[in-house]
Amino acid sequence: MIKNAKILSFDKLLTMTNAARVNGKTIVHCHGHFNVIHPGHLRFLNFAKKQGDILIVSILDHKNIPSFIVEEYFQEGERAEGVAALEMVDAVYILEKPLVEFITNLKPHFYIKGREFENDQEKIADEIKAVEAVKGEVVFNSGEMDSSLFKVNRIGSSAKRKNNRKVDFHKLCNKQEISLSKLQEDINKFNKLNILVIGDTIVDQFVACDTLGVSSEAPVLTIRELESKEFVGGAAIIAQHVQSLGANCTFVSVIGDDHSGQYVVNNLDQAKIKKVLIKDPSRPTTFKIRYMVDNQKLLRVSRLKQHDIHTDIENEIIQYLNQIDHIDGIIISDFVYGVITENVLQKILDTAKAKKIKVFGDVQCSSQLGNVTKFKNIELITPTEKEARIGLSDQTSGLEALAQKLIKKTNNQHVVITLGAQGILAYSKTKSQKNVSSEYFPALEENPVDVAGAGDSVMAGYALGICSGLNLLEASALASCLAGISVSRIGNIPIKPDEIKQYIQEIIETNQNYES
């Protein structure tokens, strides 16, 4: 039974909007399936609300969802309740009649559609005609990336809602039939996997500092170094996560003939990771220093070379790839520092195809230099939203449209768009290949200490999860938990099986305490 007072019958909705119109209020209308509420929807609805006074959202009812994708959708009541829980939404109507007829009766002043429809208006020609017939205006916009979005009504006492992210995560898993207890057991399967990790090696140094004030000579902040600690980063930390979680990992990379390179060798030896590390005297091991004050990053300084590796080194890597066997998955971690050349990437893809190895790819970049769409026909990619937009040269489409475009362009099986403190959006081809299914997993930690290594743990989680037989949603739950652990501590530290099992147990117990 639907209990939310915002979900109205058609008659009650018209009574409400007619009264609002008499009082000079502006009516805004949005329509969609709203299967899983994620940040893309929130941006869109937040923009829509700003266009008027009353925001009405109509929800596509279940019987009108195409049969080839209907199994991917929650019932309309559940979807309606999800939208009604949003603060910016004033009323929700489950659409049981034709959309054009509803628009004609509602007479909205503004009808909001995603920006992706602006260049494909033939798809919604009837809707546009109906809006214009009632002297309304169609506005194309998907909202802004940096909007403040999470205005969700919460129910219950503040004491019970203290750990609401973990409670909501547990409910999401139940709704998607993800057993967290089974997930704990599935982690034990990782020790049967052989994973190859290849990419750029980085050494991260964290320097704890104390502020002394502002210099008297110039408006410059003065700090004092207290202590420093180094961590293996880049593709190397993914290898350490993979090995630490129980799998057998082989790591392939290029390092400099320097102290940092030797530091990486020593760490990998200590972790008992098989390695193929080729020394390149022409380039130092990439080294990044983060200056921290009270667990807050003040400044980052990088020492690196970004030119492609020499042909001789490239050939040495390719020769090794010719020999690999009994590998379940390959993780490519490309920071665009030169290790993953075009020839190396093509060799990985050819080898994986010939030997039926699952490939997982990630390009970590903050500029136009890196392009995640170079990973084609593989199992999964994990771009940030910015990296996805760079790869598609698309700064305006909503997240749903962005993911659809990315899957279509790359023909990858899964796309996971990481959203930092907002969580992750997992997209997958449906069996019919005619559509893309999606699920949103919010971030589990409300006050992250250090988010720098979250993406590395997420990638390791997806690769191990999928290679051990988990589906995308189960692997997403695992990856979310790994990210939760990663952001709760300074430095990129490998996660152990007992840690992730305990973290999942805490989620289970938090939910039990909430329900009691």
Sorted by where each starts, the structural domains of the chain and their CATH numbers stand as 10-140 (3.40.50.620), 194-324 (3.40.1190.20)
How confident is the model at residue 298, as a pLDDT? 85
Q: Which two tokens stand for residue 220?
A: 């410059």
Q: What is the 3-state secondary structure (H, E, C) of 283-307?
A: CCCEEEEEEEECCEEEEEEEECCCC
pLDDT tens column, 483-494: 999 988 877 889
169 alpha carbon, distance to own chain's centre: 15
Which range among 57-61, 181-185, 452-456 has the greatest average pLDDT?
A: 181-185
Segment 165-179 mean pLDDT: 89
How confident is the model at residue 307, as a pLDDT? 80
pLDDT tens column, 157-170: 333 444 588 888 99
pLDDT band per the 50, 70, 90 thresholds, residue 473: very high
How confident is the model at residue 431, as a pLDDT? 62
Segment 468-473 mean pLDDT: 95
Segment 387-405 mean pLDDT: 90
State the pairing for strand pair 137-140/110-113: parallel
Segment 311-332 mean pLDDT: 96
More confident: 61 or 146: 61
pLDDT tens column, 94-120: 998 899 999 999 999 999 999 889 988
CA 165, 362, 197 angle in degrees (round to 5)? 105
Least confident of 49-58, 67-76, 242-251, 397-406: 67-76
- Taking CA atoms, 259 is separated from 221, 252, 285, in Å, by 30, 19, 9
CB 74 within 8 Å of CB 25? no
212 alpha carbon, distance to own chain's centre: 38
How confident is the model at residue 314, as a pLDDT? 96
Segment 116-136 mean pLDDT: 93
Angle between helices 472-486 and 497-515 (to 10 degrees): 100
Provide the mean pLDDT of the chain: 89
Contacts of 200 (CB under 8 A, 6+ apart): 234, 235, 253, 254, 286, 333, 334, 335, 336, 337, 338, 339, 340
User: Distance between CA 189 and CA 247 in Å, rounded?
Assistant: 9
More confident: 134 or 223: 134
- Taking CA atoms, 39 is separated from 53, 377, 473, 477, in Å, by 22, 27, 18, 18
User: Distance between CA 222 and CA 35 in Å, rounded?
Assistant: 51
Q: Which of 42, 87, 88, 82 is nearest to 59 (CA)?
A: 82
Give 23's Cβ-side CA count (13 Å radius). 10
Contacts of 232 (CB under 8 A, 6+ apart): 201, 202, 203, 204, 240, 263, 264, 267, 268, 492
* C-beta atoms surrounding 195 within 10 Å: 27
Q: Which two tokens stand for residue 458?
A: 């997420």
- 435 pLDDT higher than 60: no
Q: Which two tokens stand for residue 114?
A: 């995603």
- 67 pLDDT higher than 90: no
